[in-house]
Amino acid sequence: MIVSPEAVGAQSCTSPVCAEAFRFVERVVQERIVVQCFPDNWEGGLRHLQRTVYQQIPDNTVRLASLQA
């Protein structure tokens, strides 16, 4: 990831700027990051995912149980 020196600051971790097809929605520290597809993206019709949630699951047992659920 390339970050502009002017963009680095107190808000850079809580309100990042996204590029491409997704925009940042929310970040819950130590839990999840949510991004959502831009509705006016030039590839908008080609996107199969409208929203993606990245969850942090540090425990291997819980991670496996989440995958199997």
13-46 per-position pLDDT tens digit? 666 666 677 788 888 888 898 888 877 766 656 6
Which of helix, strand or coil describes residue 26? strand
CA 7 to chain centre: 18
Residues whose CB falls within 8 Å of the CB of residue 25, separated by 6 or more in sequence, listed in order = 34, 35, 36, 51
Q: Any idea which architecture 1-69 has in CATH? A: 3-Layer(aba) Sandwich (3.40)
pTM of the complete model: 0.64
Name the pLDDT band for 49 (thresholds 50, 70, 90).
confident
Vertex 49: Cα angle to 36 and 47 (nearest 5) = 100
Structure tokens at 30: 């130590």
Which residues are 33's β-sheet partners?
Answer: 27, 54
